[in-house]
Structure 1
Amino acid sequence: MDKRHTYDFGLIGNCAYLAHIAKNTNIVWLCFPRFDSSFVFGSLLDSKKGGEFSVLPPQDNFESTQYYIENTNVLCTEIATEEGKYRVTDFAPRFYHFDRYYRPLMLVRKIEPLSGSPRVKVKCKPVGNYGNFTPENHRGSNHIEYLGLEKKMRLTTDVSLTFIEDESYFLLNETKYLFLTYGSPMEASIKDTAETFLNNTIQYWRKWVKSTSISDFYQNKVIRSALVLKMHQYEDTGAIIASATSSLPESPQSTRNWDYRYCWMRDTYYTLNAFNNIGHFEELELYFKYITNIALRDDKRLQPLYKINGDAFIEEKILDLAGYQNNNPPVRVGNQAYEHIQNDVYGQILVSLLPIYADNRFVFEERHESKILIFRLLQKIEETIDEPDAGLWEFRNKAQYHTYTYLFHWAGSAAALRIGKFLKDEKMVNLATQLQKKSAEYIEKAYDDTRGVYTQAIGTPNLDASTLHLITMGYLKSDSKRAKSHLLALEQDLKTPEGLFYRYKHQDDFGEPETTFLICAFWYVEALACVGRLDEAISTFEKLSRYSNHLGLLSEDVSAKDGSQWGNFPQTYSHVGLMNAAARISKKLDKPNFLSFEKR
């Protein structure tokens, strides 16, 4: 485990932007002005063309320690050399101000000496257009302006501008501050503003954590995952992206490099569950609004993913960049999966709308428009129920009758049935009943009676971790012989000795998968808890929680060979999986709530 590959950087954000900061203090990934904009710092994908923003000592053999201030998204990096020790505190300002959240496109760096006489060099070299443009520098009285980007970028500081421009080392004998702004500049007092913003941001995150409902089961892991999930919500529209990065490979040289800076409809149910489990209503409402804005826009087929502003066109391009570790091309921006047919999206959205009717915190006015949407989504299930699709894993050159798709047809119809009964809408009840029955018939066609398992799709022997949800979502009764048999067969085929889980093992468009998909292992934990194997669920959860980096951040993929982290990072999907698995275990057994569709 000591030699495993980990992503040695942390994440800060304020629901307007996200930044990845390496243990050497360099900001290796930062996109302005949006999550899905070009990077202004992107050495994560090309050390030569990606720019740099670092605070480094003269010595190469320094020691680095990185940690979050407790219960916040404020990141500290301490650098120790023979000359001395210093700390860089990085944060994205976020706090309540003038009856709204203040979340500027502003990154603040506080540099303070801790011991000895450390010398440092501040290097700030932003780029534009994914490394193809270098801004022109313009020096002001206490700032450097970087010209030629979409908006003005400014570094405002009390560090000598000459030292920054000349990239000279200087003695750090007092605390210094750096404000990197995009658009609106910072023109107030440097020290007072930085300290006020830092204190306010710390208090905001701690208050947010205190407002969560989290059990004492691995509470620290759940808190960090909740903080990560919160940062990935683009608050202006409510969208929640899968990850802030692009093209971090699923395994070295695999070419499985994707841009995940978008909102996937397939994540709806899991993300909804995660926010519900921690009792956070504000994020739920924002997410609902984003989803309903897309779904009500027209009556065309819904896509698997959308941009954070709801746009449908996400053209995939390959950039002339070296890739992660300078040797993992291709680097992709955009995602061709938006063209895929993934019919589970209709059920996913129907499930997400159920709390509007099952949770009394929503008032009638908030339910009014959704009735039209619910019936439209039911009709989409009716229109597409007999056709194959690309499935959850977005196979690019294969369409099948996926069990997972029919499970969400079934669950979405079950949600609509309950809503229809609430509304006393006989037409909705009848259609939902009919579709739920037909979906179940399709699911049963994927059952392999000889092996006692549901396969990935009708007519294929391949198994798929997504069918674990037949148990966790209540299609199969948790105490039934069929649920236990199904789980056993998936274990034998897809589980590693460490409790990791492959999505599937058969060849796809890019060969056989080399790494496991972390959320699948958390789905497995939930399934274990459902069938009453609670001790195994707990021990597996404990093993899985160790596959984080030094800050508790989870990747998309994990190597079964050595536990290395791969894929985009951090992956909200993985953190959502941890949160939901912890909640399932903390309830001891599977107890139905308004998000469960267990047969009663």
Structure 2
Amino acid sequence: MSTVDLAVVGNGMFGALLDETGRFVWCCMDTYGGDPVFNCLVNNNSNQTGFYDVVLEDFHQSEQLYEGTSTVLITKLSTSNDDVVEIRDFAPRFVHYDRVFRPFQLIRLVRRLKGDPRISIRIRPTFQYNSTDGYQTRGSQHVRFCGPKLTWRVTTNMPIRRVIEETPFLVADEPVIIVFGSDESFTNSLSQVALEFETKTVNYWKQWCNNLTLPVEFQQVLMRAAMTLAMNQSEDCGGFLAALSLGLPLGPFSPSTRDSRVCRLLDECLAMPVLRELGLLDLCKKFLGFAKEICYREEAPQHAYNSWGAPQDTKREWAPYLAGYRGIGEVHHGGSLLEEPREESPETVWQQNAVIYGLLAISLVHAFFDIRLSQELCTPKLCEKLEQYARTACEAFSSRAELYRSFGGTADAVSAPRLPYGAGFFDDDLHFFVCEDLDPEIAPASPRLPVVHTLTSVLCWAAADRLHRIAAHYFRDPVRAEHWQRKALEIHEEICQHAWNPKRGSFTTFWGGSRVGPSILRLAELGFVSPEDSRFRGSVRAFEFDAASCATCLKNAEGESLGEESIMSAFATCFTTNTLLWYSEALRSIGAVTESRRLVEALVQSSKHPGVLAEAVDLRSGEQWGNTPCTSALLSLIRVALRLSRTWREV
């Protein structure tokens, strides 16, 4: 059975996923969001096309781990007769001529460790989302896989006929070297280049890890999470890819997900303190450069960008030749966060722009307080841009709040948008923030009522609050500081008045509502309330109740209601990993450290490579689901693990 508990190999230009036997099941080599040359992960784990593996005759078991503090993946395959072969996979990344060298190459070395292992090499790329296998041309030591638009080359030191015919052979003492990548010829010794690249890649990541500020505990987990996060950061723009894959469902009864190979801004903008605390200033600087670039563009900021930083406006397309993960659901690629553009109106500004304006202010404020960043990133023009965004967010908030008051408040059951079932139920994704489709079963004849999402409101407050800090600290302008402080206080009071539910003793997802989703768990991190505030403690406990009562998966992948016998077995043990980690951080902040630690440890143990997490996890079986590796989950894991650890003063 296929799984999303996969190892990651990448170098900031592309990423690949490997299963426990060393099979490449996913790889987009030309760009993160491009045509996957290996794609059997979302093709029902096909054994016909879309993969690259080493087949050991009489295979018995496998072992897999990363070499030390590097991204070099080691897979050992053994037979029942104790014949053992070792596979070493990596994507080169190291400093060369004063710049980071990161070619479009996957280098694989196969060595005999014991006995007489007999293997065959199978390289079966596809093109245009599995619609064609292309054709091959060959040379004396290489074979070219040619598609309609792209061509990939395999160069090796073994007879090339073994690759073309997939002929079994005994592994000799000399390592088998295979380089899969861009269509460029090798002019130097293949073995020398491969070994040199491996040594330099290992040394690069070793030095990279030496610069991390690690706590006493969770060191291996944090190092692996940090390296995976670095592999998810696009070197083309500085944004973080939400994940490397697409179409992986969030649970056994969930539909296939949309394309996650885009740079989103919610958790990434909230994670600047997290990156700094771990010593990832370089990643922080690249991302802030990306955020500043967004501010200077003519078009309004949006929630998602492609892997090279351009607006994500491609149409959503069905890939009919991909059967889906375990055959679940149709696979689609491309598509923006909102499928159809809407006209600019106060309501549209509230839904689409208020969130992003607050997020940009929250992230970029860090540049104004760090002398290492301020000299390069901070200018009066940037501050003017942020003030413009803050004004727009505050005006949109005021307009929305006035409309809400004119209705005299709305009931949660009527005003709340319809949210997905199962692991995707909760509102921890911007896709749900902007959703405004009312459930016809709940309110078939209701007028269009105003929906005010609490976290969206808080992000408007954050925009004013951060501008107050910039004006006071960077510009030392008391008039501007007082203006933004007053705005922030007004918004804060309004939110507390309408988002607080005294009956439940908690803040709610929507104003005037009763449900408490995971977005409420972020209020303390944003500084809207203190972790010691009894209102936040009450909100955490209210979330626990709603999570237990609302997480039942009542529909299957086709949207059909399940029978009574199936309902119990389909009880939603699948939660988004990000939700669980934000919940864990909330528990820690209110003093429930033991509960928080148990949850983090359980999530870490769900992966064969601790520190690598997918979008969702089944708490009953520990199985991971969803697109992987999930950037928001990695950031949340780093956040809570750093704060749970003992300090070095306690050693």
User: What secondary structure does 1:194 align onto?
Assistant: helix
Quote the offset at 1:133 in angstroms: 2.2
Q: TM-score, normalised by structure 2?
A: 0.83
Indicate whether 1:540 and 2:599 are aligned. Answer: yes
| Cα distance between partner residues in 2 of 1:378 and 1:431 | 12
3-state secondary structure, aligned to 1:177: strand
Deviations 1:119-155 (A, max 9, x none): 1101112111111122211111211112235343110
CA drift at 1:228 = 0.8
Matches within 5 A, 1:477-492: 477-492=530-545
More off after superposition, 118-127 vs 532-541: 532-541
CA deviations on 1:451-491 (whole Å, 9 max, x unpaired) are 10111111322210110112233322222322222222222
Match of 1:432 in 2: 484
2:221 matched residue in structure 1: 221
1:527-571 alpha-carbon deviations (Å, 9 max, x no partner)? 222223333333333233222234542111112333321111121
Counterparts of 1:458-477 in structure 2, within 5 Å, are: 458-477=511-530
Q: C-alpha displacement at 1:360, in angstroms?
A: 2.1
How do 1:523-562 residues align onto structure 2 when only pairs under 5 Å count? 523-550=582-609, 552-562=611-621
- Asked if the contact 2:221–2:610 (Cα under 8 Å) also holds between the matched residues in 1, the reply is no
1:378 matched residue in structure 2: 390
Once residues 294 and 439 of structure 1 are traced to their aligned partners in structure 2, the CA distance between those partners, rounded to angstroms, is 26
**1:319 shift after superposition:** 1.2
Structure 2 counterpart SS, 1:486:
helix
For the 8 Å contact 1:503–1:517, the answer to whether it is kept is: no
- The 5-angstrom pairing of residues 63-74 of structure 1 reads 63-74=61-72
Q: 1:414 to 1:182 in 2, by over 3 A?
A: same
Deviates more, 1:272-281 or 1:343-352: 272-281
Partner of residue 351, structure 1: 362
Q: Once the 2 structures are TM-superposed, how far is the Cα of residue 577 of structure 1 from its aligned partner?
A: 0.8
SS at match of 1:310: coil
Contact 2:501–2:513 at 8 Å: present in 1 too?
A: no
Structure-2 residue corresponding to 1:119: 118
Task: Give the equivalent residue in structure 2 for 1:594.
Answer: none
Cα shift readout 1:87-121 (whole Å, capped 9, x = no counterpart):
11000000000000000001000000010101110
C-alpha distance in 1, partners of 2:2/2:614? 11
Match of residue 444 from structure 2: none
Residue in structure 1 matched with residue 32 of structure 2 by the alignment: 35
- Post-superposition shift, 1:49? 7.2
Which residue of 1 is the match for residue 52 of structure 2? 53
1:76 aligns with one of 74, 77, 80: 74
Residue by residue over 1:374-422, the C-alpha shift from the partner in whole angstroms, topping out at 9 and shown as x without a partner, is 1122123124324499875323453831111122222222111100112
Q: Distance in 2 between matches of 1:458 and 1:305?
A: 26
Deviations 1:138-183 (A, max 9, x none): 1112111122353431100012111111111011012110001214
Instruction: Say yes or no: does 1:293 pair with 2:293.
Output: yes
- Tell me, in whole angstroms, the C-alpha distance in 2 between the residues paired with 1:458 and 1:239: 32
In structure 2, do the counterparts of structure 1 residues 566 and 53 end up closer, same or farther at CA, with 3 Å as the change threshold? same
Whole-angstrom CA distance in 2 between matches of 1:266 and 1:457: 18
The amino acid that maps onto 2:15 is L
Kindly tell me: are residues 161 and 299 of structure 1, through their superposed partners in 2, closer, same or farther at Cα, counting changes over 3 Å?
closer
Deviation at 1:32, TM superposition (A): 2.1
* Preserved CA contact (<8 Å) 2:54 2:122: yes
Return the alpha-carbon distance in structure 2 between the equivalents of residues 353 and 316 of structure 1.
31
1:251 equivalent in structure 2: 251
Counterpart of 2:457 in structure 1: which amino acid?
Answer: Y
Q: Distance in 1 between matches of 2:62 and 2:47?
A: 23
Label 1:179 to 1:303 Cα distance change in 2 as closer, same or farther (>3 A): same
Describe the SS at the equivalent of 2:641.
helix
**Contact 1:135 1:149 survives alignment (8 Å):** yes
Question: Identity of paired residues, percent?
Answer: 25
Q: Where in structure 2 are the equivalents of 1:103-182 lying within 5 Å?
A: 103-174=102-173, 175-182=175-182
Point out the more displaced range, 77-86 or 188-197: 77-86
Q: Residue type of the partner of 1:62?
A: H
Please state how far the C-alpha of 1:440 moved relative to its aligned partner: 1.5
C-alpha contact (below 8 Å) 1:107/1:179 kept by paired residues: yes
Q: CA deviation at 1:432?
A: 2.5
How far did 1:573 drift?
Answer: 1.1
How large is the RMSD of aligned CA atoms in angstroms? Answer: 2.7
Deviates more, 1:101-110 or 1:44-53: 44-53
Partner of 1:421: 472
2:458 is aligned to 407
Q: Structure 1 residues 335 and 461 mapped into 2: Cα distance closer, same or farther (>3 Å)?
A: farther
Q: Distance in 2 between matches of 1:149 and 1:176?
A: 30
Alignment of structure 1 residues 204-215 onto 2, 5 Å: 204-215=204-215
For residue 329 of structure 1, give the secondary structure of its aligned residue in structure 2: coil
> How far apart in 1 are the matches of 2:19 and 2:596?
33
1:255 is paired with a residue whose SS is coil
Which one is further off, 142-151 or 94-103? 142-151
One-letter code of the match for 1:424?
R
Output the CA distance in 2 between the equivalents of 1:71 and 1:495: 39
SS in 2 for 1:39: coil
DSSP 3-state at the match of 2:41:
coil
- Give the 3 Å change call, closer, same or farther, for CA 472–271 of structure 1 in structure 2: closer
**What residue in structure 1 maps to residue 372 of structure 2?**
361
Mapped to 1, the partners of 2:595 and 2:603 lie a distance apart of: 12
Q: After superposition, what is the alpha-carbon deviation per residue over 1:307-327, rounded to whole angstroms, capped at 9, x for unaligned?
A: 122222132222114444441
**2:366 alignment partner AA:** P
- Does the residue aligned with 2:532 lie in a helix, a strand or coil? coil
CA–CA distance in structure 2, aligned partners of residues 387 and 230 of structure 1: 39
- TM-score when scaled to structure 1? 0.90
Q: Provide the secondary structure at the position in 1 that maps to 2:37.
A: strand
Amino acid at match of 2:319: L
TM-aligned CA deviation for residue 428 of structure 1 = 4.4
Give the total of aligned pairs.
578
**Any unmatched runs of 5+ in structure 1?**
497-501, 589-600
Counterparts of 1:236 and 1:261, CA distance in 2: 14
| Cα distance, 1:65 vs structure 2 | 0.8
- The Cα of 1:441 is off from its aligned counterpart by 3.2
* Counterpart Cα distance in 2 of 1:355 and 1:550: 32
User: Distance between the aligned counterparts of 1:244 and 1:382, measured in 2?
Assistant: 35
Contact 1:157–1:190 (CA under 8 A) maintained in structure 2:
yes
Query: 2 CA distance for matches of 1:42 and 1:214?
Result: 36
What is the distance in 1 between the residues matched to 2:551 and 2:460?
Answer: 21
The code of the aligned residue for 2:69 comes to N
Contact 1:77 1:89 survives alignment (8 Å): yes
SS of 2:372's equivalent in the other structure is coil
Which stretches of structure 1, 4 residues or longer, exceed 6 Å deviation after superposition?
388-391, 502-507, 509-514
Q: 1:328 to 1:506 in 2, by over 3 A?
A: closer
> Contact 1:462/1:504 (CA < 8 Å) preserved in 2?
no
2:143 matched to 1:90?
Answer: no
Point out where structure 2 has 5 or more consecutive residues left out of the alignment: 342-350, 402-415, 418-426, 438-449, 562-570
Instruction: Measure, in 2, the Cα distance between the counterparts of 1:419 and 1:228.
Output: 32
Q: 2:623 aligns with which of 541, 560, 564?
A: 564
C-alpha change, 1:361 and 1:559, in structure 2 (3 Å) is same
Tell me which amino acid in the other structure corresponds to 1:400.
V
The offset of 1:205, in angstroms, is 0.6
Distance in 2 separating the partners of 1:420 and 1:566: 44
Deviations 1:228-279 (A, max 9, x none): 1011011121111110000110112421412110011112334323311211
Instruction: Decide whether aligned partners of structure 1 residues 24 and 392 sit closer, same or farther in structure 2, where only a CA change above 3 A counts.
Output: closer
